[in-house]
Amino acid sequence: MSEHTQHKHGSFEPQIIAFVCNWCTYAGADLAGTSRMEYKPNVRIIKLPCTGRIDPLFIIKAFEKGADGVLVSGCHPGDCHYTTGNYHARRRWIAFKNLMDFIGIDEKRLHFSWVSASEAIKWVDLVNNITDEVKKLGPFVEYKGLSER
Amino acid sequence: MENTLRQKAKELLEKGDVKVVIGYGWNKRKTRTTPVFITKPEDVEKLVFNPLCVNNLSLYLTRKFADIKALGKPAIVAKGCDIKTIAVLISESQIKREDVVILGMNCNGVVYKQELWKGELKPEIMPTKCHNCDVRNPHIADIIIGEKVNFTPPDTPAGMVFDKIRDLDKKSGEERWGFWIEHFNRCIKCYACRQICPLCYCDRCIAEKNMPQWIETSAHPRGNLAWNLKRAMDLTGRCTFCGECERACPVNIPLNLVNQKLALVVKDAFGHKAGYDEKVHPPMIVFNMEDQEDFIK
């Protein structure tokens, strides 16, 4: 995973890691698949029981292992399968996003969203947009460079 | 002030209300203060209180110090800022309010590092927390010792730490990244910041878990960044700015900057300031339906 995918033409293809919750976003992505919608193949989905399960270390680890962008997505507020998991996650994200920003990580590399089980179209748009955005930024050389120090 | 402190400590020990008094004492050459644990009433003469008493003794109330817990009910000599930490420990159910006697000291400020002491307390040698202190008269205490202090902190946080945060906020992302990577690169993973922190009390730290290995153990820039981010993240909404981590850091990483940046974020986003009320839950274990979510797509 540390090597980013290179096309034959040499254009950069970013690696996006998506941490999604089992009940909403994963089902939404599944719906996109079963509905035969097409979206950019750069995203690697990691399914977790709930967004409340996502420790900030997961995101740090994804960057460590060579991700160019990270997407975190779960149920809309009020829709959580475990009632309050996403509310807790939202609090954590507010702090974590500000911390990452303070450390100097570009906010375009770290995305948060709510995608429900029926929002396959939203998921497709989201992945396409993030892929384009991260593609423009180029590989996350700052973080990857840490490995070579 | 010291006499009152000794007298109160003596009374507590003689009556058997407490089994140990955790306080400050002189070192052998009387140049620095060091923690003392008084268990006998005749030893209370060892207790001192002066601007050299900078360290946060509430560390000894945590489960990291089982041998001190084993002594029995403690009384602790605490400045307002140390009481903030005790309040967080109580709100996190680490100790019960009735299980500790707080000897609150009215405080005129302390030195940032004991080495800086030249016999006089000047604003230049005081840490940022003292310049913004609103608890010079202890806010939670069983016994308050000393004369009431009149001090009004500035409306906007002033001092080196906050100036530097504002300075960093103005810089670009790349500059901030450069700044932090340069500092974190020096980290030698001694975990002094964790050991000294009264709020880092997990029995088993994530840094020591190796299946899977979340944080690389070698002092490598990649793992250093992960460790320092995780440490800062876990202190979100809990850090009371005692400044022990930065003081203990052997390579002078400005840890107060990240801690206080997150404290400012928490204050803006959730309206919470750590350590003022022991009955309020820490902000990261509760939530509000109306939390800001403009960044979530």
- The pLDDT tens digits of the residues spanning B66-101 come to 999 999 999 999 999 999 999 999 999 999 999 999
* Structural tokens at position B279: 């009955």
Count of helix runs (H) and strand runs (E) in chain A? 5, 4
What's the CA dihedral at B213, B219, B221, B226 to 10 degrees?
A: 40
* Same domain for B122 and B176: no
CA-CA-CA-CA torsion sign (B274, B277, B281, B286): negative
A57 touching B (Cβ < 8 Å):
yes
* Same domain for B237 and B126: no
| pLDDT surpasses 50 at B54 | yes
Query: What local confidence, expressed as pLDDT, does residue B119 receive?
Result: 83
User: In Å, how far is A91's CA from the nearest CA of chain B?
Assistant: 7
Query: What local confidence, expressed as pLDDT, does residue A2 receive?
Result: 47
Listed in sequence order, the residues at least 6 apart from B283 whose beta carbon sits closer than 8 Å to its beta carbon are A91, B236, B237, B266, B270, B272
Give the C-alpha separation, B23 to B56, whole Å.
10
Query: What local confidence, expressed as pLDDT, does residue A11 receive?
Result: 82
Domain of residue B90, residue span:
2-145
Helix (H, G, I), strand (E, B) or coil at B223: helix
* pLDDT tens by residue, A10-25: 688 999 999 999 999 9
Write the DSSP symbol of residue A34. Answer: H
* Structural tokens at position B37: 């644990």
A20 touching B (Cβ < 8 Å):
no
Question: How many residues are present in chain B?
Answer: 297
Name the one residue in this structure whose structure tokens are 């375009």: A108
Domain of residue A69, residue span:
16-148
Mean pLDDT (whole number) for A117-138: 94
* Structural tokens at position B196: 């000294």
The count of C-alpha atoms lying within 13 angstroms of the C-alpha of A21, restricted to the half-sphere facing its C-beta, is: 26
User: Cβ(B33)–Cβ(B114) under 8 Å?
Assistant: yes
Residues above pLDDT 70, as percent of chain B: 100
Give the C-alpha separation, B282 to B272, whole Å.
8
User: Cβ(A82)–Cβ(A59) under 8 Å?
Assistant: no
In a domain, A5, yes or no: no
ipTM (interface pTM) = 0.90
Name the one residue in this structure whose structure tokens are 């992960």: B226
Amino acid at B74: P
* Same domain for B78 and B199: no
Contact flag A126-B297 (C-beta cutoff 8 Å): yes
In a domain, B295, yes or no: no
* pLDDT tens by residue, B98-145: 999 999 999 999 999 888 888 888 888 999 999 999 999 999 999 999
Query: What local confidence, expressed as pLDDT, does residue A73 receive?
Result: 95
Query: What local confidence, expressed as pLDDT, does residue A7 receive?
Result: 52
| pLDDT surpasses 90 at B224 | yes
In a domain, A22, yes or no: yes
Contact flag B265-A87 (C-beta cutoff 8 Å): no
Query: What local confidence, expressed as pLDDT, does residue A4 receive?
Result: 55
Tally the domains of chain B.
Answer: 2
Q: Which of B145, B171, B200 is the last residue of a domain?
A: B145
| pLDDT surpasses 60 at A30 | yes
Best residue in A102, A115, A144 for a mutation probing chain B (most B CBs within 10 Å): A102
Q: Could you tell me which residues are beta bridge partners of residue B20? A: B74
Taking Cα atoms as reference points, which of B87, B85, B24 lies closest to residue B54?
B24
Which CATH number characterizes residue A60's domain?
A: 3.40.50
In a domain, A111, yes or no: yes
* Same domain for B165 and B103: no
A102 touching B (Cβ < 8 Å):
yes
Query: What local confidence, expressed as pLDDT, does residue B120 receive?
Result: 85
| pLDDT surpasses 50 at A1 | no
Give the C-alpha separation, A142 to A100, whole Å.
13
Give the C-alpha separation, B289 to B292, whole Å.
9
